[in-house]
Amino acid sequence: MAHPFATLTPDLVLDAVESIGFLSDARILALNSYENRVYQVGIEDSEPLIAKFYRPQRWTNEAILEEHQFTFELAECDVPVVAPMIHNGASLHEHNGFRFTLFPRRGGRAPEPGNLDQLYRLGQLLGRLHAVGATKPFEHREALGVQNFGHASLTTLLEGNFIPKSLLPAYESVARDLLKRVEDVYNVTPHQNIRMHGDCHPGNMMCRDEMFHIVDLDDCRMGPAVQDIWMMLAGDRQECLGQLSELMDGYNEFHDFDPRELALIEPLRALRLMHYSAWLARRWDDPAFPHSFPWFGTERYWGDQVLALREQLAALNEEPLKLF
């Protein structure tokens, strides 16, 4: 059977945007997105808009609207975020079986790795994000946890026959050892789940005119605050300590960070490694994935994954980063 996105043609994209009252100039540009489909659509006598078409059957309408509501709350508190446009009284629209949302076009560049001045300002932005996120929980979005990001990921990979037989015993063994260690750390580390970005890599914190703004809250969920922090760190341990200090100086101006959560950095990194492989496996029926990730399923990829998980297991046995 054809994948649902196979019917999302350029004409359908233009028809969807025009179905809610915009007049396109027929210019359309596909943007870099795999989980959903995102397009820049030209509008007659106006700035282009960004149209995001949600992957069918991934989120419920309630979960999507909860994401939108979170961005609206952030915007109302003057947190710089690219929020969905409300048009005809709604932020979520439907056309020919596809749910879509429009955003204003907002360009920018990603932060420079290790730039301490930028990290201080990113810390301020994350503190403001979490100050809003901590005011109430999500009701329709799951929390990040060892079960759904770890054990469920391993089950997907083992049952889907994605791992070459020659590497299957090694991968399964190290993955199970790693998950046991992750669970142990989770169980002894105090942490509070709050509404957070969920996929806060530097590419989702864009800078324009010397101001940072948050983009793409598609993966927002409940989880520990440190999940949105650790991906801002790069380099060796000493470099990460200096970067963490700058981040926290900015962060704590707006929201109190519990330093005990730093012990979760390596467990969360481990879960992300496994979840990424499982994400590729779950999306393999989408023609965009084999085309864009041809190395998935090769012995080289899975050999590298075995090595990465072993290195991650070793990292979990090291002393966590600490604030001084």
- Is 199 part of the annotated catalytic residue set? yes
Residue 214 phi/psi, 5° resolution? -90, 135
- Is 216 part of the annotated catalytic residue set? yes
Residue 193, marked binder: no
Q: What is the pLDDT of residues 164-206, one digit of tens each?
A: 999 999 999 999 999 999 999 999 999 999 999 999 998 899 9
At 177, the amino acid letter reads D
Contact between 179 and 105 (Cβ < 8 Å): no
From the list 78, 199, 236, 304, the catalytic residue is 199
Among 282, 274, 281, 275, which residue's Cα sits nearest to residue 309? 274
From the list 15, 45, 184, 216, the catalytic residue is 216
pTM here is 0.94
Residue 216, marked binder: yes
CA distance 135 to 261: 19
Q: What is the pLDDT of residues 100-156, one digit of tens each?
A: 999 999 888 988 888 899 999 999 999 999 999 999 999 999 999 999 999 999 999
Half-sphere exposure of 179 (CA within 13 A, CB side): 18
